[in-house]
């Protein structure tokens, strides 16, 4: 979703009248001065500021967004049913957070609302899935668009039809992963753990404790499995987690998971498997690690791989 350094310096070049090479040299000098403590994109934004160039009032496209940007103005279409979650702050105050996805003709971005007044617009149906909306004074954090209490959000009169609904995946090395990424990794399965089982509510799919759901009360729970594996690509390793039906991607059936003997046989087939693993990266606060929640596995097509390496 978030890119592109070349796009950014091209924009600075046009606004300043300097050549792209001039801007690039200034950025490199800034990176060297800061001893690698800042990304090239961040250094480019500092160079832009020093040249008196501001993008604060400019309306941006999703494909132009860069990590660390502030005061972002953008118009997009809501393409995902908003999800509202309640939480309690460290101070003991109850609050809410809303997440959805905003898209335009250049891409889409996960969008997070923290202000209860903004969230109420969705709760009251004044804003909803499918609407075109205008966002002002937002920021980019962890490859996501975040709206705080000083941000603005309202319905847009712009009709947006040809928006990109597919998630853009970043093909990354494991050592490059950070929480919030939608990533595609080429890696090898080097470890497979015994499956663990848990019960969920058949209505909302949330965890049920002793046949009781926090939202739906007494339920007939559905038993599901979680399988943990370790992936390695030569740069680092990462724990991958697969839930429920996603485990079937590895051709593991419920019988395989339930039988220790069958699972041991299947485990031997899985270990050493190389493939492309696609999923969401999240922070595991319990173990202070970064985990990959695997949604899809792609077999490696050697012809396609050779072609991509050539290009």
Higher pLDDT, 24 or 43: 24
For residue 263 the two structure tokens come to 């699972």
* Nearest Cα to Cα of residue 141 among 68, 54, 243, 216: 68
Q: What is the residue whose two structure tokens read 């118009």?
A: 75
Mean pLDDT of 87-108: 87
pLDDT at residue number 143: 73
pLDDT at residue number 67: 67
What are residue 210's phi and psi, to 5 degrees?
A: 50, 50
Higher pLDDT, 280 or 155: 155
pLDDT at residue number 260: 85
pLDDT at residue number 53: 79
3-class secondary structure, 215: coil
Residues 6 or more apart from 77 whose CB is under 8 A from it? 102, 103, 104, 130, 131, 132, 133, 160, 163
CA distance 47 to 55: 12
What's the pTM value of the predicted model, to 2 decimals? 0.55
**Cα 286 to chain centroid, rounded:** 20
What is the per-residue burial (b if ≥16 Cβ within 10 Å, else e) of 142-156? Answer: ebbbbbeeebebeee
Considering only 53-67, 159-173, 290-304, which range has the smallest mean pLDDT?
A: 53-67
Residue 65 and residue 2 in contact, taking contact as beta carbons nearer than 8 Å: yes
CA distance 72 to 90: 28
Q: 56 pLDDT band (50/70/90 cuts)?
A: low
pLDDT at residue number 35: 73
pLDDT at residue number 303: 67
Beta bridge partners of 223: 199
CA distance 268 to 135: 51
The yes-or-no verdict on residue 230 having pLDDT over 50 is yes
Bond prior to 306 in cis (omega within 30° of 0): no
Q: 2 pLDDT band (50/70/90 cuts)?
A: very low
Q: What is the largest CA-CA distance in the chain?
A: 70
Domains of the chain: 1-53 (no CATH), 55-168 (2.40.50.140), 170-310 (2.40.50.140)
The whole-chain average pLDDT of the chain stands at 84
Mean pLDDT of 221-227: 84
Residue 121 and residue 153 in contact, taking contact as beta carbons nearer than 8 Å: yes
pLDDT at residue number 3: 43
């Amino acid at each position: 979703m978030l890119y592109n350094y070349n796009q950014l310096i091209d924009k600075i070049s046009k606004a300043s009248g300097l050549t792209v090479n001039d801007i690039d040299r200034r950025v490199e000098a800034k990176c060297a001065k800061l001893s690698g403590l800042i990304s090239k994109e961040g250094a480019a934004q500092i160079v832009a500021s020093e040249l008196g160039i501001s993008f604060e009032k400019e309306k941006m496209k999703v494909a132009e967004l860069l990590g660390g940007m502030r005061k972002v103005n953008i118009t997009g279409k809501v393409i995902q049913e908003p999800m509202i979650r309640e939480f309690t702050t460290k101070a003991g105050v109850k609050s809410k957070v809303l997440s959805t996805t905003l898209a335009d003709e250049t891409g889409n971005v996960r969008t997070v609302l923290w202000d209860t007044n903004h969230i109420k617009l969705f709760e009251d149906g004044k804003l909803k899935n499918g609407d075109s909306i205008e966002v002002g004074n937002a920021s980019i954090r962890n490859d996501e668009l975040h709206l705080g209490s000083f941000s603005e959000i309202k319905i847009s009169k712009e009709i947006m039809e040809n928006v990109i609904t597919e998630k853009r995946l970043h093909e990354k090395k494991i050592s490059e992963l950070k929480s919030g990424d939608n990533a595609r990794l080429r890696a090898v399965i080097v470890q497979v753990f015994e499956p663990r089982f848990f019960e969920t509510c058949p209505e909302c799919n949330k965890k049920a404790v002793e046949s009781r759901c926090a939202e739906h009360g007494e339920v007939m729970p559905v038993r599901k499995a979680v399988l943990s594996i370790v992936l390695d690509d030569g740069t680092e390793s990462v724990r991958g987690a697969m839930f429920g039906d996603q485990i079937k991607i590895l051709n593991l059936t419920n019988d395989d998971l339930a039988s220790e003997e069958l699972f041991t046989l299947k485990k031997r087939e899985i270990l050493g498997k190389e493939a492309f693993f696609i999923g969401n990266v999240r922070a595991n606060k319990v173990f202070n690690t970064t985990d990959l929640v695997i949604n899809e596995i792609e077999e490696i097509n050697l012809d396609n791989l050779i072609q991509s390496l050539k290009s």
